[in-house]
Structure 1
Amino acid sequence: MAVAESAGLGPVLAFGLVGVFGVGAQWLAWRLRLPAIVIMLAAGLIAGPATGLLNPSRDFGDLLSPLIALAVAVILFEGGFSLDLHRLGDAKSGVARLVFIGAPLGWFLSTLALVWGAGLSWESAAVFGGIMVVTGPTVIAPLLRTAKLARRPARLLQWEAIVNDPIGALAAVLAFEVVITLRSNLPMSEALGHLALGIVFAAVIGGAVGWAIARAFCRGLVPEFMKVPVLFATLLITFAVTDSVLHESGLLAVTVMGLVIGNADLPSHEELRRFKEHATVLLVSGVFILLAANIEIDQLAALDWHALLFVVLVVLVARPLTVLISLIGSGLPRNERVFIAFTGPRGVVLVAVAGLFGQRLVEVGVLDGGRIGPLAFVLVLVTVIVHGFTLAPMARRLGLANTDKPGLLVVGGSRFTTALAETLIKAEVPVLITDPNHAHLIRPRANGIKTFYGDILGEAAEDKVELMSYSTLLAATDNDAYNTLVATDLAPELGRDKVWQVPRLKDDRERHALPTQLGGRRFGAGRTLEGWEKLLAEGWTFRVTKITEEYGLPEWRQKRPNAQPVMVIARNGDLRFVVDPQAMKVEAGARIISLLPPEAKEEEVVANSIAGEAPSGQPGPAAPIP
């Protein structure tokens, strides 16, 4: 037994445990609606220092450092790949200031906070201060979604995180190269030349490889099924070769490579983006678990009031000063500048890169480099928890939160969608109708419905449509192929259960059926847009009926035997369309939106006249919205 314990789990079983703990923590965080990074930190500490079940240094041995280095390389490539310079929109000026002014200033102020607050040496502080420029793109997005932030401050925070993701790593690389050259006792001119050579070498190699990959993909030299494997293999070999030729240049090379490929307008960009997102989730989870499990009890015990002072200086001094100075003269309103200044959650990229460089600093003789990892965990934990609880209230207090209920985004202007939108608006559900055909928007505009003229998949929509304001999408144009394209493209962003599509013509025929991964969910028992339009032309009208404990679904069915239920507004505001009217389930407190035949409207008018009421009203819990 003692032999087994000393030998450890072995790399294969340890790999399995890292995957289970990492992905399991992500899933648990999704179920509990908590920041994933908090659950992953707890999982890593439980698996490592708390129980000793997983000890990465023991279980992986010499493989640990290169494994983390390769994972960080992929993560930084993803950061560069995500930086699409064409999509900054109206946040471009503010993002430029936060990058060109904010990044160097934040590096300097963070270094001071590490020296004066945490008591680190200037060497460790300079390296870690560069990494702290990163504000956590994997953390900020879900926080912004929860806060329902207005578009411009949300874009500023999101793009600052995306842009500074690779910049923070590059700053750490530069600082580390300076540390190495100074410790090599080389003359200053030679040391600076060595540093400049490393930067130029990595940038040229990364740019050249990225350009070559982009050209090969555009010219069809690589088949579709091999694009992702070729990209992944090229990424790994680029990092390995440049890092072996010139130490620590690999991270810069893959970041530049990702930046070049991400801005090459590749036709397969979306497929590559989704792959690297999936790979990044796995690698981020794995690296985070490895680093958390590798922390020793002595390192955690060494965290004293200096660590607390360091976090306070970063959150309340370094970050606000960096943002407020950077945005002077930007023209942004004061409430937006204040909000951005006090919003700077750190994420897994910070921990991954900090853990890597902490080990490298110890290897070159900077002993307090071992404190970087625990300090990074503390900073991430505190900022995620603090911003997780304060972001939404602060946004509301400063008037930057979208207080509307989750709404419906309708793609396609028609008689059916206009009537449905009018009904939803009366039920206090926000609706936006978009259509690339200007003529199709005449009817909804005449009825006072909010519209957007243009392609919902285009760049203009990214700048002008608050996609986060709409929880559900309905693709209902008169073009089945376009509906399928819209639903397929936006499903990963909104969630496949929230994307709906009017049934296609011949959708029920095997010869014309599409794979399940294409298009959105169908509703209305197969009735096409033409079928819905025909009902309206025959005089059918929309009605909203509230279901209560006393007036339940059986009573509604009995009173409305010919009604065609279209959708249900749940008690919590969630929207869902009715797939099969016979199997429909509606809880008390929900509302049913249905189409009623002309005779039902006449019966309603007669009943109201007998009761001495206005035609627009209806007694009881099933009162329609006038």
Structure 2
Amino acid sequence: MAVETVEGALSPVAAIAIVGALGVGSQWLAWALRMPAIVLMLAAGVIAGPVLGVFDPARDIGPLYSSLVAIAVAIILFEGGLTLNFHTLRDAAEGVKRLVFIGAPLGWLLSTLALRYGAGTSWESAAVFGGIMIVTGPTVIAPLLRSARLSRRPAALLQWEAILNDPVGAIAAVLAFEVVLVMRTAERVGEAVWSLAFGIAFSVAVGAAAGYGLCWAFRRAKVPEYMKVPVLFVVLLAVFALSNAVLHESGLVAVTLMGVVIANANLASYEELRRFKEHATILLVSGVFILLAASLDFGALAQLDWRAAVFVLVVLSVARPVTVFVALAFTKLPMKEKILVATTGPRGVVLVAVAGLFGERLVSLGIDDGAIIGPLAFILVAASVVVHGFTLKPVARLLGLTASETPGVILVGGSYWTTGLAEALRKADVPVLVTDPNRGHLRRAREAGIDTFFGDILSEAAEMRIELAGYKTVVAATDNDAYNTLVATDLGPSFGRENVYQVTREKAAYARHALPSTLGGRKFADEATYNELNRLMWEDWTFRLTGLSEEYGIEEWRAERPEAKLLAWIDTEGEIFFISEDDDVTPAPGVKLLSMLPPGEADRSEAA
């Protein structure tokens, strides 16, 4: 129960609990409804804050509010840097360089013009806020990419641009503010230039040194395994604070570079570090969006007029497309990929947080319209999040840039049984890929025209060459039980443990060979082993798809096929669900059952 003070303010503990419940609850609801999570988080924050007045961050959390947001943004950017492995760039490298080195300055110029002539701000406010608007928001891009299931290259372009341009935008704002400061005060130009150059160089040096130092310490076992994440957090906060002490907002550069260094160091413990940071980032993104939305002041928004709408329209429909098309001109990128990137530029929490800070500083220098920078930033974030949240997936699908329309299945291990299953899935219009490190095991699948990957599914080559975003389910079905367990355990966090299956191990029933529940994947096919499934194929069992209807349901199917081995069911939207020992089919007209039938039953007629 929330504990309230006499003035009606929530206690800090109750306030933080509300932030967590609203943020995580919004993401959970968005997942269930298949909606953009950012939209629901913004709505939840606005309703709890200015609409109902239940929660006010400045009142309930107090002076720590701005510091909490700043630290959260730093951790989010660091986690973003951890995802930027240079191997993921490959064919997107040229596009990323152009979006950063050409797109960022051009975007700054166009955003400044949009603010000056669209929103009607002064040149000083326009230049400072225009620099911040370079930022496209990794806090927004990551959830959108997760739900849109884009192809690899456009996803890499958007992800790298968002993360790299975040610190670039903050530094651009600092540069513009230093120019305004020189014009408005007696500060010398030389001193301002030196301060800026030294601050940027210091942040780069500190970020790189911290990254390489941690990699050296982790690789040489100078830090025990259980202390690696705590040490990482402490160093991250120290780097952020130290850089900001030298130059405001330069800490964003330092922590991003630190993350990139660690991401490309090939650390043995990298996956554990990254996954923990991903979990922390989900909590922080949720919390920051709720905090910023709940802090919205309707009175400040009342300062805006119709020109604010013109400004948002110009930014989304002119400034962003022109920036991308000019930056990516004369590259080998297909036009459809340029169109997708040009029509996708959502802004996030970094924009709002940094804009509010510089707005206050401009006002202190006597630039009155600096007060509207914060409200302008919020409506730009809200508008871009709503527009791109609902349009990215349809536009990507229209351009043919989604990994696949229907979530597919990866079958690990080429065999008689996996080839038969792959053919059945293909008949059901479910995308399927068979992988195996032994080329000979893939011969049947290749001859049947099934997509194959020759190599280890856990290798970097697989990550680079397979559109993993197009697949939802993994079935480990090689003749090596230990390898199946390794694959299922390793891919479980990425695909979701509920979507990773493996054939039952040969000795699983013996106590001395039993494994803990944390290892391996889910059982299916009535807990059949690799040898049992392939033996059924040699005995002429066949795969069969059976459609259910109002008259012919799951009970009728089971009565007619008592010996059938039910493997999976496919819903009316074409999504497949394998059946584990604790699963039930959700019967409905239009649902299809995928099963294996013995020779006698296979000859019977199936329902339509």
For the criterion TM > 0.5, the same-fold answer is: yes
* Alpha-carbon distance, 1:88 to partner: 0.9
Instruction: State the TM-score, normalized to the length of structure 2.
Output: 0.92
CA distance in structure 2 between the aligned counterparts of 1:361 and 1:582, rounded to whole angstroms: 60
Are 2:548 and 2:587, in contact at CA under 8 Å, matched by a contact in 1?
Answer: yes
User: Which residue type is aligned with residue 534 of structure 1?
Assistant: R
Are 1:501 and 1:523, in contact at CA under 8 Å, matched by a contact in 2?
Answer: yes
- Cα pair distance change 1:385/1:560, threshold 3 Å: same
* Alpha-carbon distance, 1:314 to partner: 0.6
CA distance in structure 2 between the aligned counterparts of 1:586 and 1:352, rounded to whole angstroms: 49
Aligned length: 605
CA distance in structure 2 between the aligned counterparts of 1:153 and 1:561, rounded to whole angstroms: 48
Residue in 2 that maps onto 1:378: 379
- Cα pair distance change 1:57/1:552, threshold 3 Å: closer
Residue in 1 that maps onto 2:20: 19
- Cα pair distance change 1:182/1:169, threshold 3 Å: same
CA distance in structure 1 between the aligned counterparts of 2:296 and 2:134, rounded to whole angstroms: 23
Residue in 2 that maps onto 1:165: 166
Is residue 621 from structure 1 mapped to residue 601 from structure 2 by the alignment?
no
User: Which residue type is aligned with residue 441 of structure 2?
Assistant: H
- 272-281 vs 333-342, which moves further: 333-342
* Alpha-carbon distance, 1:324 to partner: 0.8
- Cα pair distance change 1:179/1:523, threshold 3 Å: farther
User: Which residue type is aligned with residue 19 of structure 1?
Assistant: G
- 153-162 vs 271-280, which moves further: 153-162
- Cα pair distance change 1:119/1:523, threshold 3 Å: same
Deviations 1:98-147, CA, capped at 9 Å, x for gaps: 11111111122112212222233333333332232222334334444555
Are 2:15 and 2:55, in contact at CA under 8 Å, matched by a contact in 1?
Answer: yes
* Alpha-carbon distance, 1:247 to partner: 4.3
* Alpha-carbon distance, 1:365 to partner: 5.6
Residue in 2 that maps onto 1:221: 222
* Alpha-carbon distance, 1:443 to partner: 1.6
Instruction: State the TM-score, normalized to the length of structure 1.
Output: 0.90
Deviations 1:506-532, CA, capped at 9 Å, x for gaps: 223443333333322111232111111
Are 1:80 and 1:166, in contact at CA under 8 Å, matched by a contact in 2?
Answer: no
- Cα pair distance change 1:76/1:156, threshold 3 Å: closer
User: Which residue type is aligned with residue 293 of structure 1?
Assistant: A
User: Which residue type is aligned with residue 556 of structure 1?
Assistant: W
- Cα pair distance change 1:542/1:448, threshold 3 Å: same
Residue in 1 that maps onto 2:193: 192
CA distance in structure 1 between the aligned counterparts of 2:49 and 2:355, rounded to whole angstroms: 18
Deviations 1:359-409, CA, capped at 9 Å, x for gaps: 455566654444233222211222222223333443344444566433211
- Cα pair distance change 1:129/1:82, threshold 3 Å: farther
- Cα pair distance change 1:430/1:253, threshold 3 Å: closer
- Cα pair distance change 1:482/1:561, threshold 3 Å: same
Q: Report the identity percentage.
A: 60
Are 2:74 and 2:251, in contact at CA under 8 Å, matched by a contact in 1?
Answer: yes
Deviations 1:538-570, CA, capped at 9 Å, x for gaps: 222222222222222222222222211222222
- 3-state SS, counterpart of residue 199 of structure 1: helix
- 207-216 vs 255-264, which moves further: 255-264
Instruction: Spell out the pairing of 1:72-471 with structure 2 (5 A cutoff).
Output: 72-144=73-145, 146-180=147-181, 183=184, 185-359=186-360, 361-362=362-363, 366-401=367-402, 404-471=405-472
Are 2:403 and 2:467, in contact at CA under 8 Å, matched by a contact in 1?
Answer: no
- 3-state SS, counterpart of residue 60 of structure 2: helix
* Alpha-carbon distance, 1:420 to partner: 0.6
Residue in 2 that maps onto 1:38: 39
Gapped regions of structure 1 (runs ≥ 5): 605-617
- Cα pair distance change 1:111/1:408, threshold 3 Å: same
Residue in 2 that maps onto 1:591: 592
- Cα pair distance change 1:254/1:396, threshold 3 Å: closer
- Cα pair distance change 1:436/1:170, threshold 3 Å: farther
Are 1:88 and 1:155, in contact at CA under 8 Å, matched by a contact in 2?
Answer: yes
Are 1:69 and 1:356, in contact at CA under 8 Å, matched by a contact in 2?
Answer: no
- Cα pair distance change 1:488/1:350, threshold 3 Å: farther
- Cα pair distance change 1:153/1:242, threshold 3 Å: closer
Gapped regions of structure 2 (runs ≥ 5): none
Are 1:413 and 1:444, in contact at CA under 8 Å, matched by a contact in 2?
Answer: yes
* Alpha-carbon distance, 1:340 to partner: 2.1
Are 1:83 and 1:163, in contact at CA under 8 Å, matched by a contact in 2?
Answer: no
User: Which residue type is aligned with residue 211 of structure 2?
Assistant: G
Are 1:288 and 1:352, in contact at CA under 8 Å, matched by a contact in 2?
Answer: no
- Cα pair distance change 1:452/1:349, threshold 3 Å: farther
* Alpha-carbon distance, 1:354 to partner: 3.2
Instruction: Spell out the pairing of 1:47-58 with structure 2 (5 A cutoff).
Output: 47-58=48-59
Residue in 2 that maps onto 1:612: none
User: Which residue type is aligned with residue 294 of structure 1?
Assistant: S
- 3-state SS, counterpart of residue 411 of structure 2: strand
- Cα pair distance change 1:425/1:13, threshold 3 Å: closer
- 3-state SS, counterpart of residue 290 of structure 1: helix
Are 1:565 and 1:581, in contact at CA under 8 Å, matched by a contact in 2?
Answer: no
Are 1:525 and 1:581, in contact at CA under 8 Å, matched by a contact in 2?
Answer: no
Residue in 1 that maps onto 2:492: 491
